[in-house]
Amino acid sequence: MAFQRGDQVEVLNKEEGFEGSYFPAYIIPRISNKEYIVQYKTLVQGDGSGPLREVFSTDKIRPKPWDIVATDFCLSEVVDAYDNDGWWVGKIIRKMGSKYLVYFKSSSEKKAYPLHWLRVHQEWKDGVWEYSKK
């Protein structure tokens, strides 16, 4: 997929400790047919001087997912939880009052989130968004 300057995207991070996370960003310029410079919306330079920019290959960049309104989640449903400036893929393992306990396979952690910090998990496959929530 070809992106244009200013497109809202998410960048997949596969570094140790960040597996299964997507960070919101904008496309800055295209370097080649396979690489872009992105500017993160939420991450800043180490010295705090401004937004962090990095080069990514197209296989690590996806368009911003659709906004799907969810009023509830079911047990075992795969979701994205917003934490540490990005979206992390996890699974609902319990509902606790108004919060959902989410299990993250990549780190074996469990953490409770209110509904507004969760979203329907979507996968970008062959240029189409796929999701299980109807």
This prediction has a pTM of: 0.89
pLDDT at 28: 94
Residue 133: what pLDDT?
57
User: Which CATH number applies to 78-131?
Assistant: 2.30.30
Q: What is the mean pLDDT of each run of 10 residues along the chain (134 residues)?
A: 92 81 94 93 87 92 94 96 95 97 94 97 92 64
85's tokens: 């400036």
Predicted confidence at residue 134, as pLDDT, reads 46
User: What tokens does 69 get?
Assistant: 């309104």
As a whole number of angstroms, the distance between CA 3 and CA 67 comes to 19
Q: What is the pLDDT of residue 20?
A: 76
pLDDT score of 15: 76
Taking the domains of the chain in order of start, what are their residue ranges?
8-63, 78-131
